Amino acid sequence: MYEEEEITEYYDPEVLEEEDGDQQQNGQDQDNVVVSGDPSAAANALKGGDKLLKDKKIPENERTTTPYMTKYERARILGTRALQISMNAPVLVDLEGETDPLQIAIKEMREKKIPLIVRRYMPDGYYEDWTCEELLQ
């Protein structure tokens, strides 16, 4: 009656190779940079334009934004670090029985041991990089 038809696989193995690009769009790249600030300015900076992204970095002695961490940056950093810890990233503080990744990330923040950099984009596409230690005075 019914002939066996050949089953076609719809799985595309090339999708796995594109995950590296997704990581940068989610706000974090290989240098442990967490993107903060205006999303449209960040998108415009990543489009290209007249200068390379490296050339748009504002030097440390010319930074103009506030040297304090905002509540939005804090939430993003804690979430990013908790995700890293849940994916078996090395923990930089003594655990003392803690198992919750978010609580471990909060403890790392209290002890100023989070190895992430906050990248704040300006409306013109330039950006400032701040370490978490600098923002947690």
Q: Note whether residue 20 is domain-resident.
A: no
CATH number at residue 90: 3.90.940.10
Q: Note whether residue 96 is domain-resident.
A: yes
Question: Alpha helix locations (H) across 1-137?
Answer: 19-25, 39-47, 71-86, 101-110, 132-135
Q: Note whether residue 24 is domain-resident.
A: no
Token code pair at residue 110: 């209290």
Minimal CA–CA distance to 38: which of 11, 72, 61? 72
Res 21 pLDDT > 50 = no
Predicted TM-score (pTM) of this structure: 0.70
Residue 60 domain boundaries: 31-135
Q: Note whether residue 62 is domain-resident.
A: yes
Q: Note whether residue 53 is domain-resident.
A: yes
pLDDT value of residue 104: 96
Q: Note whether residue 106 is domain-resident.
A: yes
Q: Note whether residue 14 is domain-resident.
A: no
Domain count along the chain: 1
- CA 38 to the chain's CA centroid: 15
Q: Note whether residue 40 is domain-resident.
A: yes
Token code pair at residue 33: 């940079």
> What's the half-sphere exposure (Cβ side, CA atoms, 13 Å) at 115?
11
pLDDT 10s digits, 24-76 = 444 455 568 888 877 777 677 667 666 666 778 999 999 999 999 999 999 99
pLDDT 10s digits, 79-116 = 999 999 999 999 999 999 999 999 999 999 999 999 99
